[in-house]
Structure formats: structure tokens, C-alpha cells
Chains A and B, each alone.
Chain A
Amino acid sequence: MAARSGSRTDDSLTPLARAEGVTRRYRRGSEPGRVGRLFGRSTPPDVTALEDVSLTITQKEIVGLAGPSGSGKSTLLHLLAGLELPSEGTVTFQGTDLGSLSTRKRTRLRLEHVGIVFQHFHLLDSLSARGNVALPLVELGVSKSERRHRATELLERVGLEDRVTHRPGELSGGEQQRVAIARALVTDPTLVIADEPTGELDTETGLTVLEQFERVADDRAVVLASHDQPTLDIADRVVRLCDGRIDEEATVRL
């Protein structure tokens, strides 16, 4: 699969999201409490998932994140989406430092500007396909008729016009992922984050989903993490991560 025609990798374009010197550490286990300290329980060790990573996502480009499991791809995506905050360094979105925003403001920023596609789809199992796609529009206060219209239109674009009233449990993996893609795009975000979007799908289904993903993503900036070369083939450039660091030599511009 080829990259989108007319590659939009252009340094003169305005940076949309930027990670600068980002390090993310996780504590393995919980902090000891007062009683724990009294009994000599020590602070558990930290695990570094990302170390001193810098990356700029410009508008309208597709960036692929490649690397083995545990290399920090998902962590970097979560940081760019504001789902987590870095231990060190800064992540900015349209010039705003995400670390300076409250949880509420970061959630609002995701609602308005970021669409997320998860590897495991993460659809709400009690809502229909249309209900799942329309859910972010509820938060925006969009009227019921408009929500239905926009959700149905997007489901049609991903080829699920005959599945709008089905619940996730009644859909195949590929169909669920297409619903997740429609949900990520329903608010017309400027950045789409996709974590292993074909990771749960067989090769053929994965290719179909990717085609539709590329088609409906239009001119949005996309950051996708994947092990899968055909998935990375739709990217304008691929950044390879290894042990939490960017492997500069392996960064490829397509």
C-alpha cells in the first residue's frame, strides 16, 4: 500500500503536536504507605518506557511509529493524545503545553481536536454502532437528529451502512475497528491517533480497514503505531523506536 498521493511532509507546515525531550517513567507497584514504611517496605523501582524523545507532528502528515513490543510506541501515542503526562519534557498541542492543562481541559482538547483508534477497539458494548460513533457528539451538545445523521454518514463511509443498529458484540473484529475509526473521526479532529489499528485483525481484513482508514482520514494528521509493515506503508514517514528511544538511523521518509 502506498503513501497518500502528494506527500504532505513539509517542514514549513505549522507543527500540530510536539514532544520535546519527553521521558515517561512508570512505578512498578504501589508506593509504600506509612505502615509499609514502618515495616521497611522500600519504594518500588521505576521503569522507563520513553527516554528523551522528541518528535514533531505537522499538520496533514501521516507518521508511523514502528518498533518492537515494549519500545514505547503506545506510550508516545498516549502522551501525544494527552491521555498521560510525561515525567520529564513537554508535549505541546497547537502550541499549548498539555502539562499545564487540567484534566478537564485535556479531555475537552481531545474531544475537539484528537480522534483515537485503539487496538482493542474499546467500543461501548451496550450501545449500537451508531450510538458509539455519536457518543462524542453528545458531549458537544449536538442535537439528536444531527448526531444520528453524522454518525450514519460516517458508518456509510466505512462500509457499515447495514450495521448501524448492531451492538459491538454482534460485529466482527474488522467491523468493530471500522466503527472505532468512524467514532475517532466524527468530531472532525485535526489529529488522529491510531494504536495498532490492525493488530487484532487478520491480514485481509486489516488491509480493508486500512484502505478505509486512509480514505476517511482525508487531510488530517495521523500518528499510527504498528508492527505491521503494510500498515506503516500508508505513512509519509516512519519513526522507529527501540527501548524507549528514537532510533534516528531507522527513521524513514517515504
Chain B
Amino acid sequence: MSLRTLLARWYGVAIVGMRRTLARTTHTARQRVRFSVLGVAVAITLLLVVTGIGMGLTGGTTVQDDGIDYWIVPESGGSSSPLVSTDAPQFGSVHETAETVRATEGVDSASPVLSQVLRVTAGDSAEYVLVVGIVNDGGVDQISGVNVTALSHHDHYYNDGEWTGEVALSRSAGATLNVSEGDQLTIAGNTSFAVTSVDGDATTTVGDVPTAVVQLSELQTLTGASAHDSADQFVVGTNDPAVREDLEDVYPSSTVNSRSEMTASQTMDSDLSVALALTAFVVAISIGTLFVVTTMGLELVADRTQLATMSAIGLSGRSQLGIIAVQILATTAIGGIVGAVGGLAGIRLTNEIAMRTLTSEPIAFSHSVFGLYGVVVAVLIGVCSLPVLLLVTRRVTGGVPQ
């Protein structure tokens, strides 16, 4: 058989498989095929919702906003000098370094960031809040979804100026502590803070993490980080991608991440998020495969007369297996598309329910790539189901059509 004939044959097999799938889904075997599609769709929907919530848990503490393009973070294995060894590696002498970074050509804004979860008291309310210290240079309007325009610029307290006691709160922090602009707060026992604003775009963050943003040096004073002038990371705003090379030279044991790299890196660094995503993946593959094997297996047994007919009119076992394989993969892919739509809708619904009942911000992360992820996993479910279903096909085909 020539290559051309072989290609024509397998192309024909694929077309027959696709036509059979579409016709059976919409006309001739709707009930059975739709059941298989539904099984895969449910598995994919659950996968995406759980993965979205897992990523939402990671993203909750991410310092991430539209004005930030690069993050300079310490290498976790770094042992050389500028890194201060605490629970996690930190940068030292960050105020000086921030000035250097800002002076770099192409950099619009730069700030060291120190994050700590601290007890914040307002009147009778006391809550643990994510307190973020920054040096406001006016280049970024929001940090972690908190509007910081009301914070004074350049961290005067570090430059031997007066203690400002300014704190900008996220809406969730304002709601949790029941405070508004002008109210007094106590952060980690220090009573000298006043709320400058309660504002921010909740849609830029996920995870209901009440957040307070203060001047970096004042947070360093509260947490003892002022000894080495330390911070967790730098955030940099720029329109010039060439800046990246300069940023890589700021600290020897550091990594410069772009927006997408930061999201991926933080997701991978978060054990809980990875564990949730992996668990959801394994469960979706297992449940999806078992479901498809069961429903499509029954479908094949019910279809044995048609398989026998194919044998009788001369279709080889290989071609029949090819047709069935295409049918299975197409069915699971359709399930994947339905599941992806369902998953994205499920994430939206989860956020909606959470925001109406428990939180003031979304708890699950959503991205259009999830759709592709859902379809790929669904096809993987099809691939995992293939061996058993092809074995069933071999067992039921042949003989005389009854």
C-alpha cells in the first residue's frame, strides 16, 4: 500500500470517526453519548474549580498590580552576602538599592516590599492582617489591590524624618476591622497609626486577604527588620524590557521575574496550591477515565452490530479501532470543552457565592488558559481510556451482524 493510499485511508477513518461522533451526539445515540460527555465535563469542571481555588490561595498574598512589571526576588538557595537570613531569604540595604534601581534608565518606579501578617486592633476589633511595607515613589497607584496614593512619598521616617503612622487599607481590611478613613489603628502593639484611605480595586487580587499598606521603614521598625534594612522583594514598573538585564545585576543571588513568570513561580512555590492542583488533576483523570471506560464500554457493547457490519463489509480491525479511537477522543474533547466552560462558570459562581456570603473579594483565580487546560486533560482522559476500550472493541467486533 502506497503512502498516499495509507494517508487517504487513515484520513477517511478519522473523518468517519468524527462524523459518527457528531451524529451520535446530536442524533442517533444522544442519550448514551451525552452521558459520556457529561461525565468528562463534570470531572473537568471540578478540576478547574479546585485548581482555581488553589491558585487563588497562592495569589492572595501576591504583591501584584497593573503598574508592576518585574519582581526581584531572592534565590531560595542563595547564601551570599546581601541576603539576610531569616525565615526566608531577604534582601538587605533595600532603601539604598531602591534608589539605585530608580536611577536606572527606563525604570518608572521601584519599591522594596516587606510583607508580614500582624495583629491589627481597631477599637474592639482585632484581626490578623497582611501588612505590606513599601517606599511610595508615586509610580504605582495600587499595591496588592490597596490604593496607596494617599501614602506620603519617599518614606520620610527612614531619612530621619517624622513617623507618619499612615496606613492604607484594602476594602476587605476596612470591612473586617470596621474602620474608615481617619480612624486610629494599633499594629503589632504600636498605637500610632491612622487610616489614610480604605480603597482599592478588588478585582486585581484574589483571595480574601485583608491587607494594610504602610511605609516600609515603619514596618521594619515594628518587625525588627530595620537592623539590616531588609525586605522580601522589589517591585519594578517599566515600559522597557531591556531593563531586565540591569535588574539582574542589582543583587547577585536574585531572580528577576516577569508577570507571567512570577505567577508561575509563586504557584509552584506554594505547596498547598500545587498539592491542590495535582490532587484535582489525579482525581479528574481517575474519575474521568473510569467514567469514560464504563459509559463508552457500554456504548461499544450496544454498538456491536454496527461493528460486526463493518467487519462484514471488509473494514479491518485496525480501521475499526481507529474509528473507535477517534470517537473516544472526540467525545472526551467535547466533554472537555463543555467542562472548560462549566469550570470557568463554576469559578465565577464560586467567587460570586463567596463574595455574597463569606468574603469581600474573589477566592478563586480564573484565566482563559484554564479552558485549554481543561480540554487537554479531557483528551488525556480519552487517551487513558483507549487501551481498555480498544480491547472491548476487539472482543465485540466480528462475526455475523445480528
Q: Which residues of A pack against B, CB within 8 Å?
A: 78, 81, 83-84, 103-104, 107-108, 110-112, 114, 116, 118, 120, 122-127, 131, 135-144, 147, 167, 169, 183-184, 187
Contact = CB atoms under 8 A, between A and B. Distances in A.
Most chain B Cβ neighbours within 10 Å, of A104, A116, A127, A135: A135
Given A84-B400, A122-B305, A131-B19, A140 B316 contact: no
Interface in B1-43: 1, 4-9, 11-13, 15-16, 19-20, 23-24, 27-29
A125 B306 contact: yes
B23 A118 contact: no
Contacts of A122: 305-306, 309, 312, 401
A153 B192 CA distance: 92
B351 to A, nearest CB: 41
A138 B316 contact: no
B316 A139 contact: yes
Interface in B295-310: 305-306, 309-310
Contacts of A114: 314
Interface string B41-72: 00000000000000000000000000000000
B399 interface: yes
B6 A138 contact: no
A110 B313 CA distance: 7
Given A136-B314, A167-B27, A124 B306 contact: yes
Size category of the binding interface on chain B: 35 or more
9 contacts: A110-B313, A122-B312, A135-B315, A136-B313, A136-B314, A137-B12, A142-B8, A167-B28, A187-B314
B314 A141 contact: no
A124 B16 CA distance: 11
B5 A141 contact: yes
A150 to B, nearest CB: 13
Interface in B379-402: 398-401
B238 interface: no
Nearest to B307: A124
B1 A141 contact: yes
A102 to B, nearest CB: 11
B359 interface: no
Contacts of A167: 23, 27-28
B255 to A, nearest CB: 53
Contacts of B305: 122
B309 A124 contact: yes
Given A122-B309, A126-B27, A141-B9, A108 B316 contact: yes
Nearest to B319: A139
A138 B315 contact: yes
A30 to B, nearest CB: 15
Q: Which 9 A-B pairs have the closest CB atoms?
A: A111-B314, A141-B5, A138-B12, A126-B23, A141-B9, A122-B309, A126-B20, A141-B8, A110-B314
B24 A126 contact: yes
Contact of A127 (B4, B5, B6, B16): B16
Contacts of A124: 20, 306, 309-310
